Amino acid sequence: MKQVKIFAGSASQVLAESIAAAYGTSLGDLTVQRFADNEMGPSFNESIRGCEVFLVQSTFPPAEHLMELMLMVDAAKRASAHKVVIVMPYMGYARQDRKDKPRVSIGAKVVANIIQSVGTDRLMTVDLHAGQIQGFFDIPVDHLDGATVLAPYIKSLNLENLIFASPDVGGVVRTRAFAKKFGAEIVVCDKMRVRANEIASMQVIGDVKGMDVVFVDDMVDTAGTICKAAALVMERGARSVRAVVTHPLLSGPAHDRIRASALTELITTDTIPLAQENDKIRVISLAPLFAAAIRNVVTHESISSLFV
């Protein structure tokens, strides 16, 4: 069996340390040199010849961290690593997964092309904005399910009248899959946007009176949608409202909105480190899941067995 070495990019240092510890090893020695103009130059300070190398890096804000990761892959290939696997807990530009209007790019496809162009052998990620993005890659993609670690926490709350909610029509499939683990029903919030991150109107499709509502989404950005949806279901008679999201982007006024919202709590993961403390946010680590996935990749065992 090839020797396994795990390295961290600057965006995911803490998560990578937790993944390495859960795997039973320590992080490899990697230095990212910074020039005066902030240009990057990563270098491995130990031999990785013939090793299976796992590079942990989320891409937020996407461009800078993506470039750093690509340079890390190139350095590993040039150092004669046997295989280079990117562990990308959060994939930036994944929201741009189709042409929804004329003369726009498909950012997720561009990122996929870049990742493959530097010689990446495999990609490991969790809860892509759209599962179909896996088809943009011609290399193996291990698409992990964040519900594996999030669902047990919801179960531990023992909510009596549990119902799950999608904050928009596009998230119905994700919400239904989560609700299926509990044998619960779902409701949908139908929203109309005037522009990105700005909602014109919203309505609830379904009955939430007397229910403990849990919203399910892949990410929370400015938190405008989730906070407005939480207020709406409480107006409709819900007993409590929570949200479960995998990727806490939490841009701009997000933290203030969550603190002032009707949400009892927002349950999320550590794919992106929180920029500030927030009493309403509970973070559950994905490190054990990623460590188990890495182990199964190395030993050629099933990945789906981790969450099916």
Give whole-number Cα distances, 36 to 39, 79, 216, 252, in Å. 7, 26, 43, 28
pLDDT tens per residue across span 94-125: 999 999 899 999 999 999 999 999 999 999 99
Query: With the CA atoms of 300, 2, 135 and 132 taken in that order, what torsion angle do they form, in degrees rounded to the nearest 10?
Result: 60
Q: Could you list the pLDDT tens digit for every one of the 308 residues in the chain?
A: 689 999 999 999 999 999 999 999 999 999 999 999 989 999 999 999 999 999 999 999 889 999 999 999 999 999 999 999 999 999 999 999 999 899 999 999 999 999 999 999 999 999 999 999 999 999 999 999 999 999 999 999 999 999 999 998 889 999 999 999 999 999 999 876 656 655 557 889 999 999 999 999 999 999 999 999 999 999 999 999 999 999 999 999 999 999 999 999 999 999 999 999 999 999 999 999 999 999 999 999 999 888 75
Domains in the chain: ranges and CATH = 4-145+287-306 (3.40.50.2020), 147-284 (3.40.50.2020)
Instruction: Kindly give, in sequence order, each residue whose CB lies less than 8 Å from that of residue 110, ignoring residues fewer than 6 positions away.
Output: 93
Does the predicted model carry a pTM greater than 0.75? yes
Contact by Cβ (8 Å): 290, 14: no
Choosing from 155, 191, 209, 280, which is the catalytic residue?
Answer: 191
Active site residue 5: no
> Would you say how long the chain is, in residues?
308
Distance, CA of 116 to CA of 131 (rounded, Å) = 18
